[in-house]
Amino acid sequence: MTLDREATRAGYDAIAGAYAEHFRDELAGSPLDRAVLGAFAEIVDGEVLEVGSGPGGVAAHLHGLGVRVRGVDLSPAMVELARAEHPAIGFAVGDMAALDVTEASLGGIVAWYSLIHVPTDELPGVLAGVRRALAPGGHLLLGFQVGDDVSHHDEAFGHRVRLDFRRLRPDAVAALLDAAGFDVTARVVRAPEPTSRAAPMPQAALLARRR
């Protein structure tokens, strides 16, 4: 495992409980995010994997919409939490850069605020792996903060961490998706919700389909 990945895993292990509490109501406060997830739930066919599923709230939301979903996350503490909170859903420890998934077996993949932890030079490789896991025509949904910078945190929720949050440009992500063999089918860029506890900046959701 790379140093960067090790730091991300250790960081989320340290803050898992506090993170889950702090961001518990994010989806409830974002009608547009729920609309995008709802559209994804309607169009997707087959099993869905959420990569970087954290405490499991997004997977649980999709499950509630009738989606057959499971989650993988780098952080064992996050996986433990997600399993405890959502026992009806399968969660496992895993790295989105090395998916343990049969080729072309998934109807959909969601990376909701998790691709933001992947170093930029690794994004093409991660998207190639995601494409391999999806059946032709399978859907990919990405959520991320819009911007150009990397926000580095040495401290979070009272813990010493080493976490990088990479803001991304929808155009740049769309170009990477195209190069990786996806057709981008929707882009939603929204203002931060007034009730959100996340850093206030524009938020993006991109939907894409494996060619």
Q: Site residues (CB under 6 A) for ligand SAM?
A: 5, 8, 12, 51-54, 57-58, 72-75, 78, 95-97, 112-114, 117-118
Q: Which is nearer to ligand SAM, 73 or 210 (CB)?
A: 73
CB of residue 135 vs ligand SAM: minimum separation in angstroms?
21
CB of residue 48 vs ligand SAM: minimum separation in angstroms?
13
Entry field: residues in the chain: 211
Q: Which is nearer to ligand SAM, 137 or 199 (CB)?
A: 199
For residue 66, count other CB atoms closer than 10 A to its CB: 9
Q: Which is nearer to ligand SAM, 13 or 136 (CB)?
A: 13
| 156 burial via Cβ count (<10 Å: 0-12, 13-18, 19+) | middle
Report the residue number whose CB is nearest to ligand SAM: 54
Amino acid letter for position 41: A
Amino acid letter for position 138: G
Q: Which is nearer to ligand SAM, 137 or 195 (CB)?
A: 195
The secondary structure of residue 122, as a DSSP letter, is: G
Q: Which is nearer to ligand SAM, 73 or 209 (CB)?
A: 73
CB of residue 103 vs ligand SAM: minimum separation in angstroms?
19
CB of residue 111 vs ligand SAM: minimum separation in angstroms?
8
**Residue 30, Cα to own-chain centre: how many angstroms?**
16
- The C-alpha atoms of residue 123 and residue 184 are separated, in whole angstroms, by 16
- The C-alpha atoms of residue 143 and residue 159 are separated, in whole angstroms, by 26
Beta bridge partners of 188: 205
CB of residue 12 vs ligand SAM: minimum separation in angstroms?
4
